[in-house]
Amino acid sequence: MIINILENVIGKHKTGLMKRQVVELYRMNVYSERQILEAVGISRTLLRRWNRYYDRYQNKKRVYIKMYGSMKTKTTNDLAALRRKVAELEQYSSKLLLEKQALETVITLAEDQFKIPIRKKSGPRQ
């Protein structure tokens, strides 16, 4: 029995495409191991070796992407978006600084006018 998906690559035994297709069929459990071995004409040891190699390659690729992000380089659109984000954060930071100064001024005026200690004192003077 010849598996229809592999008809185009059966004569080209050592190509990467053929190996990947065979291993993916093996991993999907669409066909039994025996059917794949008979269709392709390879040994069980070779199929398992291809499977191990495929597994290592796929895991290495996933780990790399997880650690370093996508292999896609940053484009100018991405850089422009990052610059806009930095500008927004700087504006937000300056706004927070002004709010803090305004609140400190209000607290200082309230303490002076009403002679009530509002701020918490540090150390043993509490």
CA-atom Rg of the chain in angstroms: 33
Q: Which of 5-9, 21-25, 72-76, 84-88 is the most confident on average?
A: 84-88
Task: Please state, rounded to an integer, the average pLDDT across all residues of the chain.
Answer: 80
Distance CA 43, CA 5 (A): 19
- Structure confidence by residue, pLDDT tens digits, 42-99: 889 998 898 888 887 776 666 666 666 554 555 677 888 889 999 999 999 999 999 9
Of the candidates 69, 70, 37, 68, the residue with the CA atom closest to the CA atom of residue 51: 37
Q: Is 69 left (phi over 0), alpha (psi -120 to 50) or beta?
A: left
- 109 or 31: whose pLDDT is higher? 109
Query: Across residues 22-28, what is the average pLDDT?
Result: 85
Report the b/e string of 81-109 with b at 16+ CB within 10 A.
eeeeeeeeeeeeeeeeeeeeeeeeeeeee
Residue 4 pLDDT greater than 60, yes or no: yes
Position 88 scores a pLDDT of 95
| DSSP secondary structure code for residue 122 in this structure | P
Of the candidates 98, 75, 95, 97, the residue with the CA atom closest to the CA atom of residue 87: 95
Q: Transcribe 37-93 into DSSP letters.
A: HHHHT--HHHHHHHHHHHHHHHHHHHHHHHHH--SSPP-HHHHHHHHHHHHHHHHHH
Residue 104 pLDDT greater than 70, yes or no: yes
| DSSP secondary structure code for residue 111 in this structure | H
How many CA atoms within 13 Å lie on the side-chain side of 55?
A: 8
Position 98 scores a pLDDT of 96
